[in-house]
A and B are shown apart, each in its own frame.
Chain A
Amino acid sequence: MAVKVKIPIPLQRLTQGKDEVDGAPGKVIELINTLEKQYPGLGERISEAGKIRRFVNVYVNEEDIRFLKNEDTEIKDGDEVSIIPAIAGGTKTVNSR
């Protein structure tokens, strides 16, 4: 059994279209760093200098890690990790004025 990582659609082009990838137990940040090695660019989209970006959330079994131990949250075998970015919809980048 491994850790299942759910990849959001906007990032699936970095995982060859896979919506779910396998990871290893350990701390969240270790998982992200390992993913970056496997899928270059993926980790960088999620974190910067060891911190999860503020417009991306990481959930371990539906719990937001910001309210657990953040990047140090431990992931166990069988856990499901979800990466959920903020999306705004629309088909273009728009100014709001």
Chain B
Amino acid sequence: MDFTEEQLQRYSRHIILPEVGGKGQKKISNAKVFIIGAGGLGCPVGYYLSAAGVGTIALIDNDNVELSNLQRQIAHSMKTLGMNKADSVKKTFEALNSDVNVIAIKDRINNKNILDLIKNYDIIVDGSDNFPTRYLINDACVMLKKPLVSGAILRFEGQVTTILPGEGPCYRCLFEDPPPPGLVPSCQEAGVLGVLPGVIGALQATEVLKLILGKGKPLIGQLLVYDALETNFRKVKIPKNPDCAICGKNPKIKELSDYSQEYCTL
């Protein structure tokens, strides 16, 4: 398919980049990205990928838009209060760019549905807000060898890494286990600076576009840590763990189980 005159204009700032060009823009148009969570991270990731012209974007979320979300979840609005979040962002993204096929899934991702849901997508984005889901997504992506762009936020701090199963380490290589339930009393006092998921989500969207284009160096084997208060970006190395429970030499995890349990963070 050739670009229409309108598309040439819309994507002109991409197309004039030698690293993208018409060829790269085609790759973007043909890409299929699956975003888990249409919240703080899913909103900016989906927003920028829609603007970039990613052909198919699926978003899964089971929650409805609440007033307290609007401080950071920029693809929702007063007009979509009470609406399912995936439906809400679909309206926003389609209004921005009708080239994009936005698939809204009103469900919660779990060990029964995840493999089927993500199997036909090229890249998976983790915008989830809890540990059980984070480990489930990692394990499913390792099993299906799907590239995963992982982002997490808390208060003023964010973390981003790109997981390319088979090539680099996975999330379990980074953190072997989720924090056990009940260990830490402080999760109630969490909270998040509204713009923080914007920063982390924009970084995730950048990683997705780099993977689609095959340009630059994705954050494979590295964890980027952003401290908003100190305006500090740090990168640490993530070695591949040969004893990893899912991607090591003798994986202990052979099938996805129900990881749901209350977890807390430091």
Contacts and interface: CB of A to CB of B under 8 A. Distances in A.
Nearest to B153: A89
A10 B227 contact: no
Nearest to B39: A90
A93 B152 contact: no
Size bracket of the B interface: 35 or more
B129 A64 contact: no
Interface stretch (A30-38, A54-62, A69-77): A54-62
Interface string A55-97: 1110100111011000000000000001011111111111111
Contact of B223 (A6, A84, A95): A84
Nearest to B159: A87
A64 B152 contact: no
Given A62-B237, A88-B134, A88-B154, A54 B191 contact: no
B175 interface: yes
Contacts of A90: 39-40, 128-130, 190, 192
B184 interface: yes
B41 interface: yes
Contact of B156 (A9, A13, A93): A9
Label chain B's interface by main secondary structure.
loop
A22 interface: no
A94 B130 CA distance: 6
A17 to B, nearest CB: 10
A6 B233 CA distance: 12
A96 B175 contact: no
Given A54-B177, A96-B108, A89 B128 contact: yes
Interface in A30-51: 45
Interface of A: 6, 8-11, 13, 19, 45, 53-57, 59, 62-64, 66-67, 82, 84-97
19 contacts: A9-B229, A10-B186, A19-B227, A56-B266, A62-B234, A67-B239, A84-B236, A86-B179, A89-B127, A89-B129, A90-B130, A90-B192, A91-B191, A95-B262, A96-B108, A96-B128, A96-B132, A96-B133, A96-B259
Given A9-B155, A62-B236, 19 more contacts: A8-B157, A55-B179, A62-B235, A62-B237, A63-B237, A64-B238, A67-B239, A85-B266, A86-B178, A87-B153, A88-B152, A88-B178, A88-B265, A89-B40, A89-B151, A89-B192, A90-B129, A91-B191, A95-B132
Closest 5 CB pairs of A and B: A90-B129, A86-B175, A96-B132, A87-B154, A96-B133
